Amino acid sequence: MGFVITIMLVLNAIFIGANPDSSKAHNELTDYHLTFHQDKASFRYIIFSNKVDDTGRPKDSSRRVKVLIEASSFSEPTLKSIFRLLSRRFPTPDWLEVQVYTSLKQIPTPEEEDAGGISESHDDPEFDKHHRAILFRLQGNEFFRYTIDPPDRTLKTVVLKGKDPFNPR
């Protein structure tokens, strides 16, 4: 779809360049503009880390992705969408872990990461002031956990497929 839209845009630009006063060219450009905005995602996110631990054994290899989204977009439906998008983008290895953050204050600088300045336990009080989530795909299971009401650390678990192997109830 993106390839077709790109070609249409280039052809429209050539047509407008050759006929700058053409109302047809203006209408075609307007049609493209409307189509582009209809396809735009309802939330914005950026992948700021993507690390693969390749052990040489596919069952033991894993991928850890870190994502920043706008705090106003944080919701269970958005997390489901991010999970679907990233599962398609990263089909291998089977073990996928996605950490979702909503504030730059939750993300260590490269220097902090190198020095171990922010631990996995996240004892920094700034960290807990913002929503976060962790999404998993492993052994045929897909699920995620997210904060319901920061700074409360209580997490809600949503199973999309299979079960939560870390909490078999």
Tokens of 51: 């690390």
Q: Is the dihedral of CA 100, 105, 106, 108 positive or negative?
A: positive
What pLDDT score was predicted for residue 56?
87
Helix locations, the chain, DSSP H:
2-18, 23-39, 76-89, 110-115
Q: Tell me the percentage of the chain whose pLDDT exceeds 70.
A: 71
**pLDDT at res. 21:** 54
Q: Does pLDDT of 76 surpass 50?
A: yes
Q: Give the list of residues 6+ apart from residue 147 with CB closer than 8 angstroms, or none.
A: 131, 132, 133, 153, 154, 155
Evaluate if pTM is beyond 0.85. Answer: no
Position 78 pLDDT exceeds 90: yes
Give the whole-angstrom CA distance, residue 124 versus residue 139.
Answer: 33
Written as one letter, the residue type at 105 is: K
> Is 58:94 a contact under the CB 8 Å cutoff?
yes
What are the domain boundaries of the chain? Answer: 2-39, 45-161
pLDDT digits (tens, 9 = 90+) for 111-147: 988 887 444 555 677 789 999 999 999 999 999 999 9
